[in-house]
Amino acid sequence: MMHRFKLVLATLADYAQLIRLNRPVGAWLLLWPALWALWISSGGHPREHVFVVFVLGVFLTRSAGCAINDWADRKVDASVKRTKDRPLAAGRIQPIEALVVYAILALSAFGLVLTLDRLTVLCSIIGAGLMAAYPFMKRFFPLPQVWLGLAFGWAVPMAWVAQTGGVSQLGWLVFVTSMLWIVVYDTEYAMVDRDDDLRLGVKSSAIAFGDADRVLLAILQLLTLAGLWLAGREAHLGGWYSVGLTIGSTTFVYQQWLIRNRSREGCFAAFINNQWFGLVIFLGIAFDYFFQAT
């Protein structure tokens, strides 16, 4: 009985690792642009139901994305130092199990969206397609991080539609800016595996950028900050938002320092650091609207 219980616990731990419950940073990175969009589109007062749907939907969607990603990459992951111990790559769970987990999580997220309006539901179908296609982009597309930007950033127009019924020019600006930021942090992530990806023939922006990676990342970071500044101006955000942008810019400087030697550890730490960038931008937005109201 005890042996069976331990087997069940080990299996549950493998499922948790499959959907990255042990590494929540990816969920935070997906959540922050959605919250930026909800707060700005609503003038700081998102509808409670929409807020709950998006927060729960983000965590379900990210978990589903991890499951389909590991299913698509199960053979590649077995040959990469960072990923060889993932449950699918190590053979502790079967491919069909990952597909079942993906289907359950994706359908659960879609069930949440069905409580919103028809246009948001249609947007969610586009987003699901973008997310499901991403793992296969690295086989032939030289910049799969741009596709991830589309997939993760799609939460912005979805949130705008759910809150206002459409997407304004400001909404598209926040979407493009979010895409730029996503390319930044996923390129830092790709730099961790660059040697393995070159050996295996996997595409990434880290490979495409080559020795110009740090310079190009700096340009993308500056464009991200410029886009957020323009969005703040259009949304009439003030001092608190400026503080958030200032602190956010320091995290970008810190990331440049972390990747200065292009070490695996430094690049991974830079990737992780982006969760704080997303947070301080959101706090700047939220505080600005809160103090405007008071």
Q: How far apart are CA 154 and CA 132, in angstroms?
A: 13
Instruction: Give one DSSP letter per residue of 129-157, joined into a string.
Output: HHHHHHHHHTTT-S-HHHHHHHHHHTHHH
> Which amino acid appears at position 27 of this protein?
A
- Identify the pLDDT of residue 79: 76
108 touches 169 (CB < 8 A) = no
Domain boundaries, the chain: 9-293
142-172: per-residue pLDDT in tens?
A: 899 999 999 999 999 999 999 999 999 999 9
- Identify the pLDDT of residue 105: 93
CATH for 9-293 (3.60.15.10, 3.30.1600.10, 3.40.50.720, 1.10.357.140): 1.10.357.140
Instruction: Round the CA-based radius of gyration of the chain to a whole number and report it.
Output: 19
- Identify the pLDDT of residue 1: 60
- Identify the pLDDT of residue 8: 63
Distances (CA, A) of 15 to 19, 60, 73, 234: 6, 14, 16, 44
Three-state DSSP class for residue 212 = helix
Q: How far apart are CA 279 and CA 33, in angstroms?
A: 10
Task: List the chain residues with pLDDT less than 50.
Answer: none
Residue 278 burial by CB count (10 A; 0-12/13-18/19+): exposed, middle or buried? buried
- Identify the pLDDT of residue 294: 64
Q: How far is residue 123 CA from its own chain's centroid?
A: 17
Q: How far apart are CA 250 and CA 277, in angstroms?
A: 9
- Identify the pLDDT of residue 88: 80
Q: How far is residue 186 CA from its own chain's centroid?
A: 8
Residue 210, phi then psi, degrees to nearest 5: 60, -135
104 touches 24 (CB < 8 A) = no
Q: How far is residue 147 CA from its own chain's centroid?
A: 11
Distances (CA, A) of 277 to 13, 76, 176, 184, 254: 30, 31, 17, 12, 11
- Reference 189, options 267, 288, 95, 274; nearest CA is 267
Distances (CA, A) of 181 to 148, 154, 228, 292: 11, 13, 10, 27
Instruction: Give one DSSP letter per residue of 46-105, joined into a string.
Output: --HHHHHHHHHHHHHHHHHHHHHHHHHTHHHHTTSTTTTTSTTTTTSS-HHHHHHHHHHH
Measured over the CA atoms of residue 157, residue 161, residue 164 and residue 168, the dihedral's sign is: positive
